[in-house]
């Protein structure tokens, strides 16, 4: 059978790796588009609760965040839950002024569409959350989102 060539002297053609950078760049761009830069330092430790009935807010620029949880730096700030607005610790009384300030950073026609996302640690007691909610009501920031992670609906369902 002379169909097969004898002798392995022929060099195998090198696989061109020229397209590899392109592929990696595409990956890079994908991640750049799909992720959000961590704009603010998280000073409180938040383990979000899990829920099944969740909805997503598409327009991210309408969302402002309030973090509530025990401080990351326990030695300096203790372990009681604290409120973090933007980059600083705050008290309940600061919430109203913060809402007004944040609202002024938005375009006028969008101010009424503001969402406040509450990122609260799951072991926090409701006292502080209820207080913050009351302040939000006073500041007429009524659209809120309890930020949670996703889980399956319990008990069969559909």
CB of 46 within 8 A of CB of 117? no
Can residue 41 be called a binding residue for another protein (CB under 8 A)? Answer: no
Nearer to another protein, 85 or 132 (CB): 132
Q: Is 85 exposed, middle or buried (0-12, 13-18, 19+ CB in 10 A)?
A: buried
Task: Give the closest residue to 115 by CA, choosing from 39, 58, 61, 64.
Answer: 64
Q: Which residue has the tokens 């609260």?
A: 120
Does 60 engage in binding with another protein (CB under 8 A)?
yes
Question: Does residue number 129 form part of the binding site for another protein (CB under 8 A)?
Answer: yes
Q: Which is nearer to another protein, 17 or 76 (CB)?
A: 17
Total residues contacting another protein (rule CB under 8 A)? Answer: 57
User: Is residue 70 helix, strand or coil?
Assistant: coil
Piece of 1-9, 51-59, 90-98, 101-109 that binds another protein (CB under 8 A): 51-59
Instruction: Give the pair of three-digit tokens for residue 112.
Output: 């009424």
90 binds another protein (CB under 8 A): no
Tell me the CA end-to-end span of the chain in Å, nearest whole number. Answer: 64
Name the site residues for another protein (rule: CB under 8 A): 17-18, 20-21, 24-25, 27-28, 31-32, 34-38, 49, 51-58, 60, 63, 117, 120-127, 129-130, 133-134, 136-138, 140, 142-150, 153-155, 157-158
């Amino acid at each position: 059978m002379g169909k097969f060539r004898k002798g392995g002297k022929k060099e195998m053609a090198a696989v061109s790796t020229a397209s590899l950078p392109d592929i990696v760049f595409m990956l890079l761009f994908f991640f750049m588009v799909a992720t959000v830069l961590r704009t603010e330092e998280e000073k409180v430790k938040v383990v979000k609760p899990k829920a099944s009935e969740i909805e997503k807010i598409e327009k991210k620029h309408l969302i402002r965040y309030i973090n509530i949880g025990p401080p990351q730096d326990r030695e300096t700030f203790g372990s009681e839950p604290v409120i973090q607005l933007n980059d600083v610790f705050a008290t309940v009384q600061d919430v109203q002024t913060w809402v007004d300030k944040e609202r002024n950073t938005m375009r006028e026609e969008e101010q009424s569409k503001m969402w406040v996302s509450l990122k609260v640690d799951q072991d926090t007691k409701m006292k502080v959350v209820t207080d913050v909610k009351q302040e939000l009501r006073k500041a007429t920031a009524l659209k809120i989102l309890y930020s949670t992670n996703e889980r399956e609906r319990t008990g069969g369902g559909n």
